[in-house]
Amino acid sequence: FGIRPEDIGSETAEQNPDFPRIKAKIEVIEPMGAETHIYLNTGKHNFIARIDPLRKVTYGEVIELSVFMPKAHLFRNDTEEAIF
């Protein structure tokens, strides 16, 4: 499963109640000016989300983010070849 950071927690994803949500702890906050990258951990997996810089988050906070599924990709585990 692969998804780009801009498709996790995006405004479009957050407005759709049918998209799955991921609960994770913020481990790093990286302000980038026009956007903020947050590095998260679910307890089993690490991932990065790109969020609006006006969204207030804090280190160590556990948040829920929606995943914009139309942009998700599936890969073969053994070859990493794209399936979808």
- Strands 21-31 and 62-66 come out as antiparallel
CB 13 within 8 A of CB 4: no
Tell me the two tokens of residue 21: 């949500």
CB 24 within 8 A of CB 47: yes
Give me the pLDDT at residue 63, please.
95
Reported pTM:
0.81
The arithmetic mean of pLDDT across residues 34-57, rounded, is 95
Q: What is the mean pLDDT of the chain?
A: 90
Between residues 44 and 77, the one the model is more confident about: 44
Give me the pLDDT at residue 50, please.
94
Domains of the chain as residue ranges with CATH? 5-71 (2.40.50.140)
In order of 26, 31, 43, the CA distances from 9 in angstroms are: 13, 16, 18
User: What's the CA gap between 42 and 79, in Å, rounded?
Assistant: 25
The answer, yes or no, to whether residue 34 has pLDDT greater than 90, is yes
The arithmetic mean of pLDDT across residues 15-44, rounded, is 94
Give me the pLDDT at residue 48, please.
95
